[in-house]
Amino acid sequence: MLTPTRPSTLRGGQTFSTTLTIGDDFAAAAREGQTIVTALHLDLPQLTDASGLAIKINGTAVERGAITTRWIDFAVAPTLLLRGANRIQITPASDATDMKLQDIVLSIDYRKG
């Protein structure tokens, strides 16, 4: 379990892996004419530069994130996400100092297209 009171320590060059389960049916939403916008949000209050953080979802690299206050936000193509288990891998640069990962959130926004 990952929470602000039970964070996980990220160490330089070491990969942290977790699984997020998605129950949403993106194909059905698309058939209904909805546009899906997804993003991954990491609560890493000690990080000041997201360029030294490598993120993969289901084995595919995600583009560089943007820092907003204590969160780092990554745009994620809905095509990277699976209905069911999704593997998230976070690897800080080898020279990064230890940092606390306090939360991971995957946002899914449905918009009438």
| Domain contains 2 | no
Instruction: Note the pLDDT of residue 49.
Output: 83
| Domain contains 100 | yes
How many domains would you assign to the chain?
A: 1
pLDDT digit string (tens) for 11-20?
A: 999 999 999 9
Strand 71-76: give its sheet, edge to edge: 66-68, 71-76, 34-43, 103-112
| Domain contains 89 | yes
Instruction: Note the pLDDT of residue 113.
Output: 67
Tell me: pLDDT of 70 over 90. no
Answer yes or no: pTM beyond 0.75. yes
| Domain contains 3 | no
User: Residue 58 and residue 7: Cα distance in Å, rounded?
Assistant: 22
Estimate to the nearest angstrom the gap between the alpha carbon of 5 and the chain centroid.
Answer: 19
Instruction: Note the pLDDT of residue 82.
Output: 95
| Domain contains 54 | yes
86: CATH: 2.60.120.1200
| Domain contains 38 | yes
Instruction: Note the pLDDT of residue 64.
Output: 83
> Ramachandran region of residue 33, left (φ > 0), alpha (ψ -120 to 50) or beta?
left
Instruction: Note the pLDDT of residue 18.
Output: 95
pLDDT digit string (tens) for 27-68?
A: 899 899 999 999 999 999 888 888 889 999 999 999 888 998
Range of the domain at 17: 8-112
